[in-house]
Amino acid sequence: MISTILIIGGGQAGAQAIDTLRKEGFGGRLVLIGDEPQLPYQRPPLSKKYLCGEMAAERLLFRHQSFYDEHRIELKLGTRAVRLDAGARQVGLAGGETLTYDRLLLCLGAESRRLTCPGAELAGVHYLRGLADVAPIQTGFKPQARVVIIGGGYIGLETAATCRKMGCEVTVLEMADRIMNRVVAPAVSQYFAAEHRLHGVDILCDMRVTRLEGRERVERVVCADGSSHEADLVIVGVGAVATTELAISAGLACDNGIVVDEYCRTSDAAIYAAGDCTNHPSPRFGRRVRLESVDNAFEQAKTAALNMLDRPVAHDRVPWFWSDQFDNKLLIVGLSQDYDRQVLRGDPASRSFSVCYLKGSELLAVEAVNHSKDYMAARKLIADRTPLQADRLADASLALKDAV
Ligand SMILES: Cc1cc2nc3c(=O)[nH]c(=O)nc-3n(C[C@H](O)[C@H](O)[C@H](O)COP(=O)(O)OP(=O)(O)OC[C@H]3O[C@@H](n4cnc5c(N)ncnc54)[C@H](O)[C@@H]3O)c2cc1C
């Protein structure tokens, strides 16, 4: 008999799990423990509309207080879970309280990877992961303020676009030879680099940051090639690491995330995990992955909730992700590793194109730039493993779904 479910982590996954548990009829005690003080909120606008002040904080919330009251959710916000005793099925909170569970769901998310070079601790150096990170960045938004962004991944680039919109002078320093190099094809990197440059962002690749300098606060960023970049504000976007401390301390299997099976179960039968913090199998792609996306957190949390209620269902989704930079929308669906051929559909100069990844005749992934039709078609083709013809695929006058 499951009478108490605890959820640790009040982000995307935690909020979704609550929804599903109550919708699916769980009537027992449901407690959400979150170390951020706010009601669960969405993170994507933090680097986009919320950062530039176009969206009110109220609109970030998934649900208002009344929802939690009506659904009898015990909220323990601004409270960190600091102990997990899997044997006794108990969680200890920072304030000293101990809670006992029948099922536990870990939705611990991920944390910004920190810079370790000299000067990394100077004032004026910022990270962007949670709501509390936004206001200190916004206070630096003054016309012509010099913003140096370290890292040309999604968060760095979205933030660069927003800072530029706010009138700042923006430089992006990327260590690799192209932006978003780990996640998109060269054609997509080139397109976005050109878009950023067109809007006045200085994109510099092959730049390894060696130190940050300044007296009371950061004044410049120095790179291995000897170049120095004057900065009033530095924003670091060099990736994120799964939050696993609590799971490791409880003896749960962890390896680049909390290891779960396709039912979102950890190495302890009463403990489940969902979202950015998990390392999970993807049956569709035949390998383990750790994903950082809204879609993954949302879908895994739904699956975990059902499994916690002893309704077995496997998590086997084709992952997808989006990024907004200036007026461009990048949509990525599938996993591109293991491909043997890339096919470009359309002309990047038209500002709408996609890159398809094939293994033999099987479509593994698509990166669609301002092309939601290709993205929509790809979701189905990838899920169904529909065999495609590469030459038809390359013909952008044919709809993607007709390349079969
Ligand atoms: C700035 C930004 C922009 C993004 N943009 C996009 C986008 O455009 N598209 C997209 O698909 N994805 C985007 N993402 C990623 C997406 O937001 C995450 O993948 C998603 O939020 C993951 O949800 P989660 O519930 O796993 O983790 P989170 O939302 O990170 O929530 C985890 C929560 O657990 C809390 N926690 C951790 N440890 C404890 C503890 N011991 N006790 C109590 N609480 C704890 C954390 O503080 C946090 O509140 C973006 C992320 C950021 C930061």
pLDDT tens-digit series, residues 373-402: 999 999 999 999 999 988 899 999 999 988
CA pair distance 340, 357, nearest whole angstrom: 8
In terms of Cα–Cα distance, which of 395, 401, 399, 402 is closest to 347?
A: 395
- Pairing verdict, β 103-106 and 110-112: unpaired
- The answer to whether 122 and 214 are in contact (CB under 8 A) is yes
Q: Which atom of ligand 1 is nearest to the CA of 129?
A: 53
CA pair distance 165, 52, nearest whole angstrom: 8
- The answer to whether 152 and 205 are in contact (CB under 8 A) is yes
- Indicate the top mutation candidate among 20, 41, 108 to test ligand 1's pocket, ranked by most ligand atoms within 8 A of CB: 108
Q: Which atom of ligand 1 is nearest to the CA of 16?
A: 25
Q: Which amino acid is at 302?
A: K
Residue 143 has pLDDT above 90, yes or no: no
Provide CATH code, domain 327-402.
3.30.390.30
Residue 62 Cβ < 6 Å to ligand 1? no
Please measure the distance between the N-terminal and C-terminal CA atoms of the chain and give it in whole angstroms: 50
Distance 319 CA to ligand 1 centre (A): 16
For the chain, the average pLDDT equals 97
Distance 199 CA to ligand 1 centre (A): 29
The CATH architecture one would assign to domain 4-111+241-308 is 3-Layer(bba) Sandwich (3.50)
Distance 279 CA to ligand 1 centre (A): 15
* Identical fold, 4-111+241-308 and 327-402: no
The residue-averaged pLDDT of 31-41 equals 98
Instruction: Please tell me what DSSP assigns to residue 254.
Output: B
Residue 247 has pLDDT above 90, yes or no: yes
- HSE toward the beta carbon, residue 391, CA cutoff 13 A: 0
Residue 47 Cβ < 6 Å to ligand 1? yes
Q: Which atom of ligand 1 is nearest to the CA of 324?
A: 8
CA dist list (Å): 161 to 43, 59, 294? 17, 21, 21
Q: Which atom of ligand 1 is nearest to the CA of 274?
A: 26
In this structure, the residue with its CA closest to atom 6 of ligand 1 is: 44
Structure tokens at 68: 């939690």
Reported confidence tier of residue 404, pLDDT bands at 50, 70, 90: confident
Task: Note if the pTM is more than 0.85.
Answer: yes
The residue-averaged pLDDT of 224-244 equals 98
In this structure, the residue with its CA closest to atom 5 of ligand 1 is: 44
User: 186-198 vs 154-165: helix axis angle to the nearest 10?
Assistant: 20
Distance 129 CA to ligand 1 centre (A): 7
Which CATH number is 114-236's, of 3.40.190.10, 3.50.50.60, 3.20.20.540, 3.40.50.300? 3.50.50.60
Instruction: Please tell me what DSSP assigns to residue 385.
Output: T
Residue 275 Cβ < 6 Å to ligand 1? yes
Percentage of the chain beyond pLDDT 90 is 97
> H/E element holding 304?
helix 294-308
Edge-to-edge strands of the sheet including 98-100?
A: 81-85, 90-93, 98-100
Q: Which amino acid is at 164?
A: R
Reported confidence tier of residue 403, pLDDT bands at 50, 70, 90: confident
Q: pLDDT value at position 14? A: 98
Each domain of the chain, given as residue ranges in start order, spans: 4-111+241-308, 114-236, 327-402
- The answer to whether 278 and 12 are in contact (CB under 8 A) is no
The residue-averaged pLDDT of 109-127 equals 98
In this structure, the residue with its CA closest to atom 14 of ligand 1 is: 44
Q: pLDDT value at position 384? A: 94
The residue-averaged pLDDT of 26-43 equals 98
Residues 334, 367, 11, 307, Cα dihedral to 10°: -10
Residue 59 has pLDDT above 90, yes or no: yes
Residue 44 Cβ < 6 Å to ligand 1? yes
State the sign of the Cα–Cα–Cα–Cα dihedral 383, 388, 390, 394: negative
CB neighbour class for 311 (10 Å; exposed up to 12, middle 13-18, buried from 19): exposed
CA pair distance 21, 322, nearest whole angstrom: 27
Distance 234 CA to ligand 1 centre (A): 22
